[in-house]
Structure 1
Amino acid sequence: MADIASNRKAGRDYHFLEKYEAGIALKGTEVKSIRLGFMNLNDAFARVDRGQAFLYNCDIRPYERASHEQHEARAPRRLLLHKKEIFKLLAATQQKGLTLVATRAYWKNKKVKVEIIVGRGKTHGDQRQDLKDRVETREAAREMARFNERKGH
């Protein structure tokens, strides 16, 4: 599963609670543009409207060699999910503080899939704690490497 695009800010800004894999309804020019690597998931999020899930703010640049029909770059795109999953996502978004964020897009069996997470926004203190934990883990790994180097392992 090769990644097409990822939203790296999502890990910094949200606590991940649940993950869902969704197909995405695309036009031919959108697929061709994605194959060329022109997809951007920064600021992309999902919402459930009238019993269907949609992806918003996903930027797919127009395909330059299209003949007559071109797609809109930031149009809402329908997500393909089972009815049960849609109801779970709807219930999750109705809880205070939870949102649906697109974290990555990838190829699976020649189809484009989008990973949607149910996330709770991190506070500034949470982000600082994550940074501190990463620094401590990195320093511990360095110390272990130095120790093993001295012991000849």
Structure 2
Amino acid sequence: MARPRPQEFEKKKVVAENRRARFEFFLEEFFEAGIALTGTEVKSLRFGEGSIAEAYADVKDGQVSLINANIPEYNFGNRFNHEPRRPRKLLLHEREIEKMHKALSREGMTLIPMAVYFNGRGRAKVELALAKGKKLHDKRETVKDRDWKRDQQRLMRERG
């Protein structure tokens, strides 16, 4: 039986996406979190700059923080510019943090950012996913399924 599709959030302007995560991990549960940013970080994100390729999230002392996300310095920011790879606090409800903490205490689970975007109200948000890492044979199976689906679509187009 196929897994149910995860809940989609209202994304207006996607700034950064972690497309590799769907290949590297089994994604189980999705969360939407706000980010505590400084002014130059918001301006840099609005220009479409930012990367979450190597980023992950961690729960410590009842707070979730985004670690290793790269938001480059704002070009026109002077001495008030920010540090590009600083840890950023994520804004979540207490029960969501508890749920994440319990899931992360299990073996093999990790919390990865899937996308950074601005919602309909213009607020910067992060889509987080609770994930379990894939083994090499799982990745091979994913590639095999993807190739078969591509061939299937091609055959359907040719047959009309």
Q: Same fold (TM over 0.5)?
A: yes
TM-score interval w.r.t. the shorter chain?
over 0.9
Tell me which of 111, 117, 134 is aligned to 1:106.
Answer: 117
How far apart, CA to CA, are the structure 2 residues paired with 1:43 and 1:67? 27
Q: What TM-score, normalized by structure 2, do the two folds share?
A: 0.90
Give 1:147 shift: 0.8
Instruction: Could you list the structure 1 runs, at least 4 aligned residues long, displaced by more than 4 angstroms after superposition.
Output: none
Q: Which has the higher mean CA deviation after the structures are superposed, 66-75 or 84-93?
A: 66-75
Tell me which of 8, 11, 31 is aligned to 1:20.
Answer: 31
Report the count of equivalent residues: 148
Correspondence 1:144 to 2:141: no
> Could you say which residue in structure 2 is the equivalent of 1:151?
none
How far apart, CA to CA, are the structure 1 residues paired with 2:27 and 2:94? 22
Q: What TM-score, normalized by structure 1, do the two folds share?
A: 0.95
Q: If you compute each CA radius of gyration, which structure gives the higher value, 1 or 2?
A: 1
Partner deviation per Cα, 1:128-152 (whole Å, 9 max, x = no partner)? 000000111111111111111xxxx
Correspondence 1:81 to 2:95: no
**Which 5+ residue runs of structure 2 have no aligned equivalent?**
1-11
Partner SS state of residue 80, structure 2: coil
CA RMSD of aligned residues (A): 0.7
Give 1:67 shift: 2.9
Superposition pairs of residues 24-43 of structure 1, within 5 angstroms: 24-43=35-54
**Which 5+ residue runs of structure 1 have no aligned equivalent?**
149-153
